[in-house]
Amino acid sequence: MDVKRKQSGDMIPTTNAERRRRGEELILRVAEEVFANRGFQGATMTEIGKRADLPKANIHYYFSSKKKLYQRVIDDVFNTWLKAADQFDDHDDPREALTAYISAKMELSRSRPNGSKVWANEIIHGAPMMRDYMESHLLEWCESREKRIQSWIDRGMLRPVNPRYLLYMIWASTQHYADFSTQINVLNNGQPLTDEAFEEAKQALVDIILNGLLCERD
């Protein structure tokens, strides 16, 4: 089944596998925006199809139900955040690891704000579609990162803080720039932050968190 993109200049897929991959990417990108703006209940497959310039039947060809499409969007967002958290494993020094993680999370809020909003909407409504997922995947991930942070504390590299509360603070601070973008724009004279201003905000957040955590070295 062929999939055409609205944007000019896109290459036409040449194989069935490539057509399917591109079709899914288009639908997921559009669905993420619709779910962010409408929520799960307010979003419709018809609207997603119209915004993607695809018949509704094409949407159902890739995703048999709105629920499955929504779960795929949520899963994709979570996996993207997991990849950002690889910084914990890539750096042994907490300064480098936390700087890289905070920076990666901020960049995701900048480049993919709708994904963060979909996640936030789900949580605000009690996570009806993903509670089981959270109680397994998210809890397991969180506990592994807490152990990593605790190891830095035990080695005298970080001040003694509750690792989970630190993660909460990082998530809240970084995702604020996606979830509360309208508020930020209003306080910024009705304009979104420029790239320069966003970089300044990112560096400020890194400095604030690290200055409160790092132990002074002799």
Q: What is the pLDDT of residues 76-105, one digit of tens each?
A: 998 898 888 888 888 889 999 999 999 999
In which band, very low, low, confident or very high, does the pLDDT at 2 lie, cut at 50, 70 and 90? very low
pLDDT (tens digit per residue) in 136-190: 888 888 999 999 999 999 999 999 999 999 999 999 999 999 999 999 999 999 9
- CATH 1.10.357.10 occupies which residues in the chain? 74-213
At residue 134, what are phi and psi to the nearest 5 degrees? Answer: -65, -40
Specify the CATH class of 74-213 in words.
Answer: mainly alpha
At residue 214, what are phi and psi to the nearest 5 degrees? Answer: -70, 135
pTM comes to 0.85
At residue 158, what are phi and psi to the nearest 5 degrees? Answer: -130, 150
* More confident: 126 or 19: 126
Specify the CATH class of 16-64 in words.
Answer: mainly alpha
* 53 alpha carbon, distance to own chain's centre: 25
Neighbours of 111 (CB within 10 A): 10
- CATH 1.10.10.60 occupies which residues in the chain? 16-64
Give the CA dihedral 157, 159, 161, 163, nearest 10 degrees: -20
Partnered with residue 214 across adjacent β-strands are 158
| pLDDT at 194 exceeding the cut of 70 | yes
Lowest mean pLDDT among 9-13, 29-33, 66-70: 9-13
